[in-house]
Amino acid sequence: MYILDLTQNSLRAGATWVKILIDEREQDDLLVVEIEDNGKGMSGAELERVLDPFYTTRTTRRVGLGLPLFAAMVNRCAGELKITSTPGEGTKISASMALKHWDKPPLGDMAGSFVTLIAGNPEVDFVYQHRRGTKEYLLDTKQIKAVLEDVPISNPTVLDYIKKEIEKGLFQIEPWK
């Protein structure tokens, strides 16, 4: 849910490209999560306040809990959070934490989450990169769209195919299987 929520921030910032990286380094007991976009970016003043739960640029409510809750989870898991942003260029959120920490929530249904993002934002190009040890899975919707030509990526048959491809790809990079 954190990944969906943080990606929604990218989309609200006008991103047309979002990259999600999950890097599970079992031998180092390290999980790295990065979300990078080409949205409107943040000024230095916004960047200083971004972890304040009572600060938000949204006009529909007066609190912004996504990043503060993510930062608290990273901190609980003996981790570190870094946010870099350049106005007009985009933002990158990078978190590293203990992979086997008891407070780290499970990654959950990454295939379902990714398909939800694609279905709701077919005009956005998403890159999903997932590493486990030395193995890697990569999905780039820009490449898929090029193959589809006139068929929309939000077509239910296409979304079902993408979901199955992600599930198959993640199964293939399981280092313990």
pLDDT, block means (10 residues), the chain with 177 residues:
90 96 94 97 89 65 71 94 96 95 90 96 97 95 95 97 96 73
Residue 147 domain-assigned? yes
CATH of the domain at 24: 3.30.565
The DSSP letter of residue 86 is: E
pLDDT for position 175: 59
User: Domain count of the chain?
Assistant: 1
Angle at Cα 150 formed by Cα 149 and Cα 152, nearest 5°?
A: 100
Q: Is residue 108 part of a domain?
A: yes
- Domain assignment present for 177: no
| Residue range(s) defining the domain that contains residue 136 | 2-172
Q: For 74, left (φ over 0), alpha (ψ -120 to 50), or beta?
A: alpha
The answer to the question of residue 109 being in a domain is yes
Closest CA to 117 of 74, 68, 154: 154
Rounded alpha-carbon distances, angstroms, from residue 86 to 42, 164, 172: 6, 36, 36
pTM: 0.89
Residue-level pLDDT at 70: 92
Q: Is residue 58 part of a domain?
A: yes
